[in-house]
Amino acid sequence: MDTELGAWLRQQREDRSWDKREMARRLVDAGRAAGDTAMPTVDGMYHNLHRWEHDGGVSERHKLHYCRVLGIHPSQFGPHPPVEPLDAGLVTAAAPGISELGVTEPVSAAVTSRPDPSLLVPSSFAYRGREESGIGLFAIEREVLMAAHEGSDHAAEHEQHGIGEATLEQFRADLARLSRLTDTGVPLTTFLEARRVRDRIYRLLDRQLRPREQSDLYFLLGCINGLMGLTANRLGYPDAAEELIRAGWAYANTIDHGSLRGMLRAKLAYVTYWRGWFREARDLATDGLRFASQGPLGADLHLNHARAAARLGDLDTARQAVRLAHAAHDSDYSDDVVRIGGEEFALSQATTYAMAGGALAEIRDGEREAAEELEHAISLYEQEPGEHCWFGGKALAGADLAVIRLRSGALDGAATALEPVLTLPPAQRVSTLTIRLARVQNELAAPVFRSSTQARNLGEQIEEFGREAVTTGLHSLSGLS
């Protein structure tokens, strides 16, 4: 029996003004966020907590979860922490993925009272052993956001009837913010924040709700699962992406929401296309057009249909789909999905041209038209303020344009087109870009470039890009869905 440890645990909780149930909830959330699939329920953790605060006896596994909740390094755990920090291998063994996303240095006393266990996940995010600058700012942002979320949750708990318009309004604002973050932020940051918002909605669904309130929450969940699916795909997890998007589809079906179904079909078609499943991608896009054939959503679906049809050799259908996409985007159409904003709900004109160029590039003798569309897309991206522009848009267009220029032997032009790709920070080097660059490498392997020093240097830059891509350091993680 270690009563001294029990007293320390109780003091740490009381110093943060948490009751035992709140502490239990945080421990469960921290364990699940770290991939611990054997976490008990909150009630079960509550009973464990009562015992631990009485006589200690905390396992090494739960000590790590405590550290995440308390915002401390494992070396700081307990009333008399050891001088040397715990072995990193022990941390890795107890919490899968923590070697990639965890605490690598002792935490200063100034931050040991952080209230959110997940703050420790991105606070020292490293690529190939090299920390990214600015991650500390993210930790500060997480603390502020969690404080705001806790305020919203408390207000929701005290609304007299249902969940109230104020709570729904806040969730709509959260969704719009997540859409912007998906466009401009770090994908892993986006995924974690989207999951937190989704979990808050899950908790509200356990309450007695009016049918309209439940319908509103299902709409929000459909949208958020779609964003999470897209982000999971960018992080290199297409299986998780498909599962998340299909979960969104289930909510959209439940409330019979046509444009939401159209958006989710477009995202799933995109994921399956880049897995090489062209027939499935074509069929998904065709099905989505039953629900949304006009406006930005219609354009998105037509363009996914165009690219899949081109890879299947149906060139006339592909050209027609590109024309329909431009017409759909130019149409005067809007709905509650489009009004959320952001590339994932309202495809921009620049991305419409970029996707059209990518589709035309798959058509035999379509390179000239494709290059025109892609060059126009890049010029439109350059006119957009950086804080509003999708970080991958110009880069993806540049990669597609580089492929076209290499096919015509224009190595200098290809190198210029790749500049916005190769200068992206590692945290934004997503899987869709590494797939595109693999196609560039295939073109660089053509006999005409074998003796070119410039081609060899460009190939080496692409290889380095892949070594530092966000997906390289993430595949030991679990729990993305």
> How confident is the model over 56-67, as a mean pLDDT?
83
350 neighbors 384 (Cβ within 8 angstroms)? yes
Quickly state the pLDDT bin for 64 (edges 50, 70, 90).
confident
What does the pLDDT look like over 308-347, one tens digit per residue?
999 999 999 999 999 999 999 999 888 999 999 888 888 8
| Cα separation values, 169 from 165, 220, 394, Å | 6, 11, 33
Residues sharing a CB contact under 8 Å with residue 352, sequence separation 6 or more, in sequence order: 296, 299, 303, 325, 326, 329, 377
Structure tokens at 469: 């891509």
What does the pLDDT look like over 68-119, one tens digit per residue?
899 888 878 888 764 443 333 323 333 333 333 333 333 333 333 333 333 3
Nearest in space to 466 (alpha carbons), one of 434, 425, 422, 418: 434
What does the pLDDT look like over 254-313, one tens digit per residue?
999 999 999 999 999 999 999 999 999 999 999 999 999 999 999 999 999 999 999 999
319 neighbors 364 (Cβ within 8 angstroms)? no
Rg for the chain (alpha carbons), in Å? 25
Q: What percent of the chain shows pLDDT beyond 90?
A: 48
Structure tokens at 48: 């464990």
> How confident is the model over 406-414, as a mean pLDDT?
93
Quickly state the pLDDT bin for 125 (edges 50, 70, 90).
very low
Residues sharing a CB contact under 8 Å with residue 325, sequence separation 6 or more, in sequence order: 298, 299, 300, 302, 303, 306, 352, 355, 356
> How confident is the model over 389-402, as a mean pLDDT?
90
The whole-angstrom separation of Cα 70 and Cα 104 is: 16
> How confident is the model over 361-371, as a mean pLDDT?
90
So what's the pLDDT on residue 158?
47
**CATH numeric code, 257-390:** 1.25.40.10
Chain Cα centroid distance, residue 66: 26
- Out of 132-146, 199-213, 219-233, 386-400, pick the least confident: 132-146
The whole-angstrom separation of Cα 52 and Cα 367 is: 68
Tell me the whole-structure pTM to 2 decimals: 0.66
425 neighbors 375 (Cβ within 8 angstroms)? no
| Cα separation values, 354 from 9, 227, 274, 323, 349, Å | 55, 20, 16, 14, 9
Structure tokens at 114: 């952080």
Please list the residues that pair with 127 across neighbouring strands: 130
Helix, strand, or coil (residue 79)? coil
What does the pLDDT look like over 258-268, one tens digit per residue?
999 999 999 99
The whole-angstrom separation of Cα 188 and Cα 190 is: 5
Please list the residues that pair with 172 across neighbouring strands: none
The whole-angstrom separation of Cα 52 and Cα 54 is: 5
Q: Among positive and negative, which fits the CA dihedral 141, 146, 149, 154?
A: negative
At residue 219, does pLDDT exceed 80? yes
82 neighbors 90 (Cβ within 8 angstroms)? no
| Cα separation values, 277 from 151, 175, 312, 426, 479, Å | 45, 30, 10, 28, 25
Residue found under tokens 């009485």:
54
What does the pLDDT look like over 425-467, one tens digit per residue?
888 888 888 889 999 999 999 999 989 999 999 999 998 888 7
Q: Among positive and negative, which fits the CA dihedral 189, 191, 197, 203?
A: negative
Q: In the chain, where are the structural domains located?
A: 3-121, 257-390, 392-481
| Cα separation values, 77 from 62, 88, 470, Å | 11, 15, 31
> How confident is the model over 372-398, as a mean pLDDT?
84
At residue 127, does pLDDT exceed 50? no
Quickly state the pLDDT bin for 153 (edges 50, 70, 90).
low
